[in-house]
Amino acid sequence: MRKAFNQELLQIAEKDPRVFMILADIGYGEIEPFANRFPDRFINCGVAEQEMTGVACGVAMEGNIAITYSIANFPTIRCLEQVRNDVCYHNANVKIVIIGGGVSYGELGVSHHSTEDIAIMRALPNMVVLVPCDCKETRAATRAMMAYEGPVYFRCGYKNEPDIHEEDIDFRIGGSIQVREGHDATVFFAGPVGIHAKEAVDALVAEGIRCRLVSLHSIKPIDKEAIVRAARETGGIVVLEEHNICGGVGGAVAEVLMDEGCGNVPFRRLALPDLYVTKVGSQGWLQEQYGLGKAGVMAAVKSMLGRS
């Protein structure tokens, strides 16, 4: 997904001289094409994420589009004060891009996990939060982000993520994309972990359970209509995310359900528990360890529907 993002960004920068890339001495292997093609629009601030964010705000305030770019939590939590006071308070046209949300960097431990970011970033006024799930969504989300005027948080995957969408998609900020039709339950997901939701929904068909499957790629603004329809048209809602269970996608969906008078719908959240992921292993292994794999989704749907 990071390659898809960088390729799309380069194409946009070819046509728009306002696009600047600002990073903290990271990203090598993917960012060279931009750096070589636009050396006057590429700024490496060194290992100094606070300065990176401040520079990006200044660049944006001069009428440009500034992209900050780094791995996991470094462009967000490490420089949160600058994101809040510089970018969001001034509604600056800064796009904050992380590579490897969740536990993508599983072997590197807690310091390289990004498991509180959605909760934090969606709490900031003026901030849009996008969580694409595969390369198709990544490319479409990049175009939508760059066309949007204002701060955007873009939670990108890492590499070798499988495709979830089989056909062309209609991506819009504030929207969602239905992947499968069904009436027994709805499974919402955000990000590449959604491949397990897709596998689970497809497997449940053999057990006579047909689920609606929806990529909730825009967390803020969120697709309230899709959530309300799911509550009224299907037998329950399961939300899958690779994030701490507190304040993430499941919390955002629950807020909509309560605000819209749909609080009586059966509801399950599949997320990382409220702890630091101190187990060390690959992303896929960690997802399975915390019930975010295919089996976990199937079990949650059947439990919610009262099926053994």
Which two tokens mark 42? Answer: 């590429």
How big is the chain, counted in residues? 308
Based on its alpha-carbon atoms, the radius of gyration of the chain, rounded to whole angstroms, reads: 19
What was the pLDDT predicted at 26?
Answer: 86
Q: How many CB atoms lie within 10 A of CB 12?
A: 17
Q: What is the pLDDT of residues 241-266, one digit of tens each?
A: 999 999 999 999 999 999 999 999 99
Give dist(CA 225, CA 227) in Å, integer.
5
- The reply to whether 177-304 shares the fold of 2-156 is yes
Tell which CATH architecture fits domain 177-304. 3-Layer(aba) Sandwich (3.40)
Q: What is the DSSP string of 273-303?
A: -SS-----S-HHHHHHHTT-SHHHHHHHHHH
Q: What mean pLDDT comes out for the span 77-102?
A: 97
Looking at residue 260, its pLDDT comes to: 98
pTM for this prediction:
0.96
User: What is the model's pLDDT at position 294?
Assistant: 98
- Extract the tokens encoding 221: 């603004």
292-294-298-301 Cα dihedral, nearest 10 degrees = 40
| Residue 268, pLDDT score | 98
| Extents of the domains making up the chain | 2-156, 177-304
Q: Give pLDDT tens digits for 35-87.
A: 999 999 999 999 999 999 999 999 999 999 999 999 999 999 999 999 999 99
Which pLDDT band holds residue 28 (cuts at 50, 70, 90)? confident
Least Cα distance to 11 among 142, 134, 125 occurs for 142
**Average pLDDT rounded to a whole number, residues 269-287:** 95
**Structure confidence by residue, pLDDT tens digits, 160-206:** 899 999 999 999 999 999 999 999 999 999 999 999 999 999 999 99
Q: How confident is the model at residue 29 (pLDDT cuts 50, 70, 90)?
A: confident
- Residue 308: its pLDDT value, please? 66
**Prior bond of 221 cis (ω within 30°):** yes
State mean pLDDT over 224-239: 98
* pLDDT (0 to 100) of residue 216: 98
CATH homologous superfamily of 2-156: Thiamin diphosphate (ThDP)-binding fold, Pyr/PP domains (3.40.50.970)
Judge residue 306's burial from the number of C-beta atoms within 10 Å of its C-beta, 0-12 exposed, 13-18 middle, 19 or more buried: exposed
User: First vs last Cα of the chain: how many Å apart?
Assistant: 37
Query: Taking the CA of residue 257 as centre, how many other CA atoms within 13 Å lie in the half-sphere pointing to its CB?
Result: 21
Q: Are 128 and 96 in contact (CB under 8 A)?
A: no
- Spell out a b/e string for 41-63, using b for 16 or more CB atoms within 10 Å of the CB, else e: bbbbbeeebbebbbbbbebbeee
Say how far apart CA 64 and CA 229 lie, in whole Å. Answer: 39
The closest alpha carbon to 96, from 61, 58, 52, 134, belongs to 52
Residue 135 has pLDDT above 90, yes or no: yes
pLDDT of residue 259: 98
